[in-house]
Chain A
Amino acid sequence: MDNKVLLRLVNIKKVFGSQVILNNISINIKKNEFLTLLGPSGCGKTTILRILGGFENPDSGFVMLGEENINNVAPYKRNINTVFQRYALFTHLDVYGNIAFALNIKKMNKKIIKEKVTKALIQVNLQGYEKRSISKLSGGQQQRVAVARAIVNEPEVLLLDEPLSSLDLKLRKEMQYELKSLQQELGITFVYVTHDQEEALTMSDTVVVINDGIIQQMGTPESIYNEPINAFVADFIGESNIYDGIMIRDEVLELFGHTFKCVDKGFNENESIDVVIRPEDVRLTKVSNSQKTTNHTSRNNQLIGKVTDCIFKGVHYETCIETFGEEWVIHDTENFVPGDYVSIEVDPFNIHIMKKHRQVDDDES
């Protein structure tokens, strides 16, 4: 990844009817970056891509490609290509005709077109499919044709709108890997849309989490996962246990009436906060019958809970535990039996504190 910014969204606002779909979106996308827009359905991801592609005009703000403001540049004049959410292949053309479409428009030499199409087909692993009609391709193959049709133009930026959402899990994983290596091989900037957090985390250099048309958090997959900025991000990125807590003073909080140590500071005294604990950041130990009724912390950062469910998930057991009427979901290697009492222990650095008011709400009020 280069450090040069290639594509910039500056203060983009988009309104449909009376609904604000995008509110002040600013993103800098670097050359060769794999940037993912992640968010729940209807949060405005496709709308951002459509603004980048030129199919939708922002109500305010602008898009810069290199040094040029491209707000008023028609899609067919932009050096940006799109892989559409439902592929939108040309059914009247065969695979070759689809991939050669843009090159034919440019009136390129037939021989060069043939070379380029052949190369693109190799890149997406579809050698020998030139004469196949689109209706006779599987979903995964159609997806590959859609990618080949876009990359054959060697665009500066490739926009991909949930390209893998209609594929089954195994194929999706395979294609994730293939798309990622293709991006590295081609050195093209990818702007990728998905609502699958795992996909976003495994593929991207940068993840932009969006909700309600507002950027919630932007950063590397690690930073998004490890330091979610608010409860929405924490909840959306991976499973999380989120509880209401009170920050008593720096590095000390109260949760379910118990005092916990943490590493966060800088909150007001007795400020209401969200406490986020990842399922895999908890240690469980079975406790004896004599301990179960005490239900209080003998040690720091420990609670006693009752197992309600324990499901084998392959790598781990997913254990559901009830404490004080709240449910915990915990990933652990030990198999417990419903009815067991366990101690729940969390290290201070694994407790994430989040302000109750998401930052993004602040600038709305």
Chain B
Amino acid sequence: MNRKWLAYPYIIWMIVFILIPLIMVIYYGFTIDDNGSVVFTLGYIRKAFEPIYFKAMMKSFLYAGIATVICFLLAYPLALIIAKKDTKGSSMLFVFILPMWMNFLLRTYAWLTLLETNNGVINTLLKALNLPTLNIIGTPNAVILGMVYNFLPFMVLPIYNALAKIDPYVLEAANDLGANAIQRLIKVVFPLSIPGVMSGVTMVFMPAVTSFVIPNLLGSGKVNLIGNLIEQQFLMTYNWGFGSAMSLILMVIILMSMGFMQKIDNNLEGGVGIW
């Protein structure tokens, strides 16, 4: 029986919500309205590489990178503990993904309430205890904190999945072959969990690098990342062409880094031991 029609809704979805917007972004990014006639231009792309914009882009990658590293450092031990069968791992996992059920904006606003310089919850408490206050709202630190908090579960889950899949007998085999607990972690557990780490890194880094709500709120508009610049082009200066160009550059960089990760992943699965 021909069931091709089952795919039609998805194809329509893809055309309407992915393909057409993409074509429009490309159209806006590469064309300019020259007295009523549309002409091809590389001007927007060139403009995106001007120092102020290029710096914002680099800064985005830097902060997202730092957030990703912190997420990894926090998530890995946590995932190890949760994946241990003999602990109450599943309830711990539940506690950690619980905040994910809340709206992203709400969670970020909550941090704002906590961190506010003058009458934030933390500082009120510190003042009451006669301790120096914490002034991080409006700094990159607050932005990175927001990224780590919001995206941590996306790092924990794939790593946990990879760890839980490891055959316990493989660990016994390593033990049998002379590896102590630390050697087992470095030589067996970590290499076997790399696919999980890869997807965790992708799932944290991608939204972090493009985020604009977190820098808007926790950075008080003082920390301008590429996401903010793109947002401003579309919503404030109405320079859709330039906004599109920056989006395209960001997209190309993201696609390239994804391809790179995929390659590392494939090499590992092919059994090429780099560890």
Contacts and interface: CB of A to CB of B under 8 A. Distances in A.
Contact of A94 (B170, B179, B194, B271): B271
B133 interface: no
17 contacts: A75-B176, A76-B176, A76-B178, A84-B172, A85-B169, A88-B169, A88-B173, A89-B170, A90-B170, A91-B271, A92-B191, A92-B194, A93-B273, A97-B273, A132-B271, A149-B173, A153-B177
Interface string B173-206: 1111111100100011001101000000000000
Interface residues of B, number: 24
B268 interface: yes
Nearest to B195: A92
Given A90-B192, A94-B273, 19 more contacts: A55-B175, A76-B175, A76-B177, A76-B178, A76-B179, A81-B177, A84-B169, A88-B170, A89-B173, A92-B188, A92-B275, A93-B273, A94-B272, A97-B271, A97-B273, A102-B177, A105-B178, A150-B176, A150-B177
A88 B167 contact: yes
A53 interface: yes
A202 B42 CA distance: 80
B270 interface: yes
B169 A86 contact: yes
A134 B271 contact: yes
Interface residues of A, number: 31
Contacts, number: 83
B180 to A, nearest CB: 5
Interface of A: 53, 55, 74-76, 80-82, 84-86, 88-94, 97, 101-102, 104-106, 132-135, 149-150, 153
B175 A133 contact: no
Nearest to A161: B169
Nearest to B173: A88
Interface string B158-173: 0000000001011011
Most B CB within 10 A of own CB, among A80, A97, A135, A153? A97
B198 to A, nearest CB: 13
Contacts of B176: 53, 75-76, 80-82, 150
Nearest to A95: B271
A153 B176 CA distance: 11
Contact of A88 (B172, B183, B271, B272): B172
